[in-house]
A and B are shown apart, each in its own frame.
Chain A
Amino acid sequence: AQSVAQPEDQVNVAEGNPLTVKCTYSVSGNPYLFWYVQYPNRGLQFLLKYITGDNLVKGSYGFEAEFNKSQTSFHLKKPSALVSDSALYFCAAMAGSARQLTFGSGTQLTVLP
């Protein structure tokens, strides 16, 4: 069975500081990994994905994520946080043989001015 863990319900960071939102996964075989963001009263939006290749994936709005196979992690990062980055972030994973994504429980990111 697939599973995704986001160990932090809430992450607070000051504007201009780097941010990290953590994600670990458990899937059989090679994983496909994703990050989605949900702004208030909006649907989920795709940020980035890792399928294969370079372990550092760059996505929308200056976000990037690092795939670490030995630690089964896919942490979301941004070098300099903006207040407008405040939102709910979801990590998702699927095995190559699976048919559907499994989502984590989400992490609320708050960037303080």
Chain B
Amino acid sequence: EADIYQTPRYLVIGTGKKITLECSQTMGHDKMYWYQQDPGMELHLIHYSYGVNSTEKGDLSSESTVSRIRTEHFPLTLESARPSHTSQYLCASSEYGRTNEKLFFGSGTQLSVL
């Protein structure tokens, strides 16, 4: 069983609110990712990190930001949520090394912005 945790599981908020989605892993993985998933659609990478103080934007443009101050923690923040941000957000981590791209995923956060 993967040791990667996301909180909250579900979040319903009003437009304009600032929110932070939490993601923590206890496996000591250097690489961490945030994906966005709409129902029936493919996962889209929005942010990733190769280690502490490393953050990169992914393929999908996102108004969110991330930080990586500690290896185990990779929070995602929306400064001002909008209805278009309604989606499922999945956090993942993996071990270092190109041929070992086995991803471990959290259970996701379902965000609804009213």
Per-position 1/0 for B50-63, Cβ under 8 A of A: 00000000110000
User: Which of A32, A49, A94, A106 is close to B42, meaning CB atoms less than 8 Å apart?
Assistant: A106
- Determine the residue in chain A with the shortest Cβ distance to B41: A105
A36 to chain B, nearest CB (A): 7
A102 to chain B, nearest CB (A): 8
> Is the Cβ of B4 less than 8 Å from the Cβ of A43?
yes
User: Which of A32, A94, A96, A100 is close to B58, meaning CB atoms less than 8 Å apart?
Assistant: A100
- Determine the residue in chain A with the shortest Cβ distance to B58: A100
Asked if B102 is at the interface of the complex by the 8 Å CB criterion, the answer is: yes
Q: Which residues of A contact B41 (CB under 8 A)?
A: 105-106
Q: Which residues of A contact B40 (CB under 8 A)?
A: 9, 105-106
B1 to chain A, nearest CB (A): 10
Given A100-B59, A103-B42: A43 and B106 within 8 A (CB)? yes
Asked if B66 is at the interface of the complex by the 8 Å CB criterion, the answer is: no
* A contact residues, range: 20 to 34
Complex CA–CA separation, A41 to B109 (angstroms)? 10
Q: Which residues of A contact B99 (CB under 8 A)?
A: 32, 51
> Is the Cβ of B103 less than 8 Å from the Cβ of A101?
yes
Extra A-B contacts (15), CB below 8 Å, given A32-B101, A106-B41: A4-B42, A9-B40, A42-B107, A43-B4, A43-B105, A44-B103, A45-B2, A46-B102, A46-B103, A46-B104, A90-B42, A90-B43, A94-B101, A102-B59, A105-B42
* Sampled A-B contacts (6; CB under 8 Å): A43-B105, A44-B105, A49-B101, A100-B58, A105-B41, A106-B42
B residues sitting closer than 8 Å to A (CB atoms) are 2, 4, 33, 40-43, 45, 48, 58-59, 90, 92, 98-99, 101-108
Q: Please list the 5 inter-chain residue pairs (A to B) with the smallest Cβ-Cβ separation, ordered nearest first.
A: A43-B105, A44-B105, A105-B42, A103-B43, A103-B42
